[in-house]
A and B are shown apart, each in its own frame.
Chain A
Amino acid sequence: MPRPEVVFRTSAIIIRRYEYGEADRLLTLFTPDQGKIRVIAKGVRKPTAKMAGHLELYSKVNLLIRRGRDLHRIEQAEQVQPYQPQRESLIWFGYAAYLVELLDRFSEDEEPNPPLFGLLDIALNWLSAPDSDYALVARYYELRLLRLTGFEPSLFRCAVGQEEIEAQAQYFSPLDGGVVCPDHVRGHAAIPLSLNALKILRYAQTRDFDKVRALQISAPMHHLLERIMHSYIAHLLETRLKSADFLHLIERFREAPQIPPSP
């Protein structure tokens, strides 16, 4: 006996979309209470579709969804937060794609994780604020996402010896899942980690977002932090993220920004 159809309301961030059939789109949504769900938006590629403009990628929407046996279907859509900065920016697009791909890779279908939704919301908002440090948003987001999904890197104890890490230069080992002290470091995959870099990572892992956003980070430091986080994430996922490759490509073109000295 078929289940009776149910209509429900939810807030959602659109994380992926494909064209489907004549004029439809399949969307992957991230919702607070149902996690990642897949839905169909019928007819939205026609010019006069009412919902079309409300279902933009990487935006927050309020939806009315009809639960179907195979596919849920969007009945109504209203955009609540487009996130985008006023000026079209390629680098923004690259970073938004990266944040969202990370979430997609680290979450399972229909597995609720309200704090993760909150995190993505904060990160996309922050990314769209004027003069925001995109790379810092990404580092903060990565560390928090890893915590919320159970892959938090160990930054306060040696990932091998388990003893408390001293305030000095260390190593970061993607393989061992965190910071490794000079006594326990082994293999060649470990990345030398300056004391400053360790401090920034710990700060971003434990402090609130409004504290973290005040950090001023130099370009070389950003490169190191990115290398550390990307190698750790690539190790966990056993693959490189396509959007991370895309970011590397477009960042090469960006003029060197004016960055104040490191903390």
Chain B
Amino acid sequence: MSKAIPDSVTRLIEAFSRLPGIGPKTASRLTYFLLRAPEDVSTTLAGAISELKSKTRLCKVCFNITEEEVCGLCRDERRDAKLIAVVEEPLDVLAIERAGIYNGRYHVLHGVLNPREGIFAENLKIKELVERVRSEAITELILSTNPGMEGDATATYIKDELSRAGVTVKITRLARGLPTGADLEHADAATVMRALEGRQNL
């Protein structure tokens, strides 16, 4: 049987389809776009992709993505080394940095506990976090996992794990409540409850 699509084209379509949020239609569209686009578009893309894995690694202190052994944030002397914000993913570091007021360091867990998908504590950088808190002079740990079932369970697990390890440190959780732009009337009970608990003096 003759093929309507050459192998090299099929291969790229299949590769694109494995990316999150990209279905077979989008994958074909991207592939045919690259076929028509000037040569340098695809060579730049190919170069960037192959360097992505070969040049990057995890920071050995905070496990953020970096090109060095220790990332820029961990090496920055102006940042408060006694403060650690614990986040799920490297992208969460960017979200906190965007706020522009946090001056401490980070610890990236690379996921959250998810029993159903078989993600247990040993698959996350929790042991490393406990070790870090034990060996560095940390005064506060800001647990910044996402609000919700898995993020909360992971935060609780970390708290329990630290107390089992006999490490005493101030542990806080990011405030939660009504987001800017939201409507009170649409809020769920848990959110309203949290917002009331966390109310502040004007």
Contacts and interface: CB of A to CB of B under 8 A. Distances in A.
Interface stretch (B27-35, B45-53, B148-156): B148-156
Interface residues of B, number: 30
Task: Choose among A100, A246, A247 the residue with the greatest number of B CB atoms under 10 Å from its CB.
Answer: A246
A20 B21 contact: yes
B188 interface: yes
A57 B150 contact: yes
B180 interface: yes
Given A16-B116, A82-B189, A243-B116, A50 B153 contact: no
Interface residues of A, number: 34
Contacts, number: 78
A243 B187 CA distance: 31
Interface stretch (A90-98, A167-175, A198-206, A211-219): A90-98
Nearest to A90: B156
A127 B43 CA distance: 57
B90 to A, nearest CB: 15
Which secondary structure dominates chain B's binding surface? helix
A50 B191 CA distance: 11
Given A21-B20, A90-B156, A253-B160, A101 B180 contact: no
Interface stretch (B56-64, B77-85, B117-125, B132-140): B117-125
Interface string B141-177: 0000000111011011100100010000000000000
Interface string A12-49: 00001001111000000000000000000000000110
Contacts of B189: 79, 82
Interface string A103-138: 010000000000000000000000000000000000
Contacts of A20: 20-21
B100 interface: no
A246 B115 contact: yes
B183 interface: yes
Contact of A100 (B21, B116, B120, B155): B116
A101 B149 CA distance: 15
Contacts of B150: 57
Interface of A: 16, 19-22, 47-48, 50, 53-54, 56-58, 79, 82, 84, 88-90, 93-94, 97-98, 100-101, 104, 242-243, 245-247, 249-250, 253
Task: List the 8 closest A-B pairs by CB distance, nearest first.
Answer: A53-B188, A246-B115, A21-B21, A243-B115, A57-B149, A97-B115, A50-B186, A47-B179
30 contacts: A19-B20, A47-B180, A47-B181, A48-B182, A50-B186, A53-B187, A53-B191, A57-B150, A79-B188, A79-B189, A82-B190, A88-B155, A88-B156, A89-B156, A90-B157, A93-B113, A93-B115, A93-B152, A94-B115, A97-B115, A100-B116, A101-B115, A242-B115, A242-B117, A243-B116, A245-B115, A246-B115, A246-B120, A253-B160, A253-B164
Interface of B: 20-21, 113, 115-118, 120-121, 148-150, 152-153, 155-157, 160, 164, 179-183, 186-191
